[in-house]
Amino acid sequence: GNGMMSPNKFQNINNGQRQRIGIYGEWEKDISPEWTTQLGTRYENVRTSADEVHGYQVGGQNNMTNQLRDSANFNASDRSTTDHNIDVTAIARYNIDAQKTLELGLSHKERTPSLYERYTWSTWPMAAVMNNTVGDGNGYFGDPNLSPEKSNTLSATLDWRADDDSWGIKATPYYSYIDGYVDAVQWNRMTNTAAGTQTTNQYNVLRYTNQDAEIYGIDISANQELAANAWGYWDIVGSLSYTKGKNKDSGSDLYNIMPFNGSVALNRENNGWTNQIEVVGVAAKKDVSTPRNEIKTAGYGLLNLSTGYQFKEVAIEAGIDNVFDKNYALPLGGAYMGQGRTMSMNKEIDGSSNWGTAVPGAGRSFYIGVNYKF
């Protein structure tokens, strides 16, 4: 027949191949008792390719799906690319004194786009949404001309500990600039060009594209012994993490960046028993990707409890996560797509779009585990 989904099979990626040959080396040297250096390098030859494709239609007139137009454009493109990727990492560690260590790192890394980022081709929403590998509910198609990402990262780590390890703190600030970051832009499938106006509060068709971006932040962890008495050995551990990602071309925040978060846990050990009370806090996710209409999420806090006992060879652990059964949305969980029509990008439920629902986190969860060492 001549229907929208006939008479042939839809070739999404036809004979897509990714071949990688790599070699790496590492060199380490103690310059002095205080200084240790490490240098690593890797070369990768990555070849990607795909054959010509066709949609359900192979002739006749273009209908609203634009299968003939899109497949013809893709088949006329260069579908074989060889990338020469080079990674270089340099680390220098300096022992300031018996308590403090400073580590400086510099790296250059390159990544070849995936087959889905290069060789998916259809702007038809029903086909494009099936190529969503990032979980945000949008439809995606690729660009055979995508270049590898090239990132340059500078980081530093200060590790400061007591002589007897009764306390410690570690802080790692970092900054990365990514040339050719594989992001996405909203696409006007009728004109087959980037959309001039951004459509909000719904899912859209997007095309992968190279743009420049930066990612920076800091990770902090700390521990402190509290007491050692008849009730056992007590200590407290905590962590904080902050990350910011920005698309330098569009000005949008990057997709799937974790908001400010932290945790603190009180631990107790006594005669084989281990117990922990942990509090986890996550700030509201307000910095979201504009082209993807990424869903904002509210902040939340969770309480987790665990206990365990160590026998000679057997350890038993049990716990409760999310003790108060907090209802919260996962900041990196993506979009919830479990309701509505299965073959429509914006599935209408009772006359409204299903856009805007984030995947919820797990409710109150009980677990028990047994480990046996032999």
Residue 60 lies in a domain: no
Residue 3 lies in a domain: no
* Share above pLDDT 90 across residues of the chain, in percent, rounded to a whole number: 84
Q: What is the pLDDT of residue 119?
A: 98
Per-residue pLDDT at 57 exceeds 90: no
What's the domain range around 276?
17-50+77-372
Q: Are 157 and 171 in contact (CB under 8 A)?
A: yes
Q: Count of CB atoms within 10 A of residue 48's CB?
A: 23
Residue 220 lies in a domain: yes
Q: Which amino acid is at 102?
A: L
Residue 67 lies in a domain: no
Q: What is the pLDDT of residue 3?
A: 67
Cα gap 311→367, rounded to integer Å = 19
Residue 62 lies in a domain: no
Residue 221 lies in a domain: yes
Residue 268 lies in a domain: yes
Instruction: List the CATH number of the domain containing 141.
Output: 2.40.170.20
Work out how many domains the chain is built from and give that number: 1
Per-residue pLDDT at 341 exceeds 70: no
Give per-residue pLDDT as tens, 151-188: 999 999 999 999 998 999 999 999 999 999 999 999 99
Residue 316 lies in a domain: yes
Q: What is the pLDDT of residue 199?
A: 93
Per-residue pLDDT at 221 exceeds 70: yes
pTM for the whole thing?
Answer: 0.91
Tell me the pLDDT of the chain averaged across its residues: 94
Is residue 294 packed enough to be buried (19+ CB in 10 Å), middle (13-18) or exposed (0-12)? buried
